[in-house]
Amino acid sequence: MSENKKIKCKVLVIGAGPGGYVAAIRSGELGMDTVIVEGERAGGTCLIRGCIPSKALIHAADRFHEISSHTGEGKLGITVAKRPVLDFPKTIAWKDSIIDRLNGGVEILLKKSGVKSLKGWAVFKDGKTCDVTTEDGIITVTAEHVILATGSEVTELPHMKFGGKVISSTEALSLTEVPKKLVIIGAGYIGLELGITYRKLGSEVSFIEASDRILPLYDKELMRPVERRLKKLGINVILGAKAKSEKDGLVTYEDKKGNAQTIKGDYVLVTVGRKAKITGFGLENMSVDMQGSFIKINEKCQTSMKDVWAIGDVTGEPMLAHRASAQGEIVAEIIAGYPRKFNPSAIAAVCFTDPEIIAVGLSPDEAAIAGEEIISSKFPLAANGRAMTNETDGGGGFIRVTARKSDHVILGLHAVGSHVSELSGEFALALEMQCRLEDLAGTIHVHPTVNEGIFEASLAGLKKYE
């Protein structure tokens, strides 16, 4: 048997998701000899089987639902003679074309930055050396610095294994037909996004959620418009229920009173969370400290082992692509000698439900628990001209500002409403810059736009304590 091919490099990145490929590209840009290893396609969960494909399906479902609303009597003076016809395989093909384009773009950027890409599975023999099994054989890579960006994977219920009628979000994004009935276990953000999408495409959707409300990580005020929308769409939400078993699409669950109930679906989609991917690549041979089920890091994303770094989902919450990307860029610059650290004031979290939700910083309740005396004010989208002309003013959406009473520093910004995700950048910037109510109220916002609501909510907060 021939000897393994051997490679030495300055930086070795494991995983080409939004954290890994950003780290590799930045390392290459900074002139460091960089190798990135990916077992599947560049882009990771976010691009290939998560954020991007789900948003594509959400958009297609919104378009289909909107066109359907113009049949019959129509609206806005627009009438469609027949209900639109959905060719779902073509929808999936369109979604896949977007993934292909973005995947190709990532690969071009890696190549342009001088990064060597290896397609295969890496298994570490020690902290700085791994064997990568590729189609052309095993390549042994030894690096001065290792960046672990292995990401996360779907959580499987022990009593409801994936297979047959039981699917994860990965399979839900690649179905070849719209299921007539879809049962979803877990009403978190992934389940809700997909459930609303498939309902708009024509599925009969039911949720089984163990908690007493949907999206328990968000405050109740933010959730009310979403709850109203679910009801209007005719989505069945069963709260306080625990799924017990599944057989050929028939789910047995225990309701909040402890009674056994059943519900049938063409598919059963399990969306009970994600977990760090820490197995299968020899982490046990690297002698890094763990924090629960995550790799422990400091503010520079350093692990307990010298020159071994970890970024993204494998390091814990929040499991967000933009967090991973920011960490990846910072680690590359630290390795190159720049004095950087990962210490953001806030990271925006967006739930792409209908309506969308943004959460940045502390909610009023969280601020109160933290001992802050606060000013909290909100502006209803029903009073926003742009929201009215876009037909996005219904459903009780709003923009809310939470500030410290003593100095008016912004502690949190939250919103719920159609397309409010586009406000998340200004929300995060406001906390990062330690803006005050006066800063937001004193910034001239374009009229007519939805983000005028930020100005209005801030102004309302100031007027409360004039």
- Annotated active-site positions, please? 447
For residue 286, give every residue at least 6 positions away whose Cβ sits within 8 Å of its Cβ, in sequence order, or none.
Answer: 124, 126, 127, 303, 305, 308
For residue 247, give every residue at least 6 positions away whose Cβ sits within 8 Å of its Cβ, in sequence order, or none.
Answer: none
> Residue 225 and residue 208: Cα distance in Å, rounded?
20
Do the beta carbons of residue 294 and residue 323 sit within 8 Å? no
User: What Å distances lie between residue 306 and 34, 288, 296, 301, 396, CA to CA?
Assistant: 18, 9, 13, 11, 52
Beta-bridged to residue 142, according to DSSP, are 8, 129
Distance linking the first and last C-alpha atoms of the chain? 82
Do the beta carbons of residue 328 and residue 26 sit within 8 Å? yes
For residue 323, give every residue at least 6 positions away whose Cβ sits within 8 Å of its Cβ, in sequence order, or none.
Answer: 312, 347
Cis ω before 380 (30° cut-off from 0): no
Do the beta carbons of residue 125 and residue 285 sit within 8 Å? yes
For 79, other C-beta atoms within 10 Å of its C-beta total 11
Tell how strand 137-148 and strand 129-134 pair up: antiparallel
What is the torsional sign of CA 424, 428, 430, 431?
A: positive
Tell how strand 152-154 and strand 274-276 pair up: antiparallel
Radius of gyration, alpha carbons of the chain? 24
Do the beta carbons of residue 166 and residue 186 sit within 8 Å? no
Strand stretches in 87-192, DSSP E: 116-119, 121-126, 129-134, 137-148, 152-154, 166-167, 181-185
What is the torsional sign of CA 204, 205, 208, 214?
A: negative
For residue 465, give every residue at least 6 positions away whose Cβ sits within 8 Å of its Cβ, in sequence order, or none.
Answer: 375, 405
Element (H, E) at 226: helix 220-233
Helix (H, G, I), strand (E, B) or coil at 188: coil
Element (H, E) at 191: helix 189-200
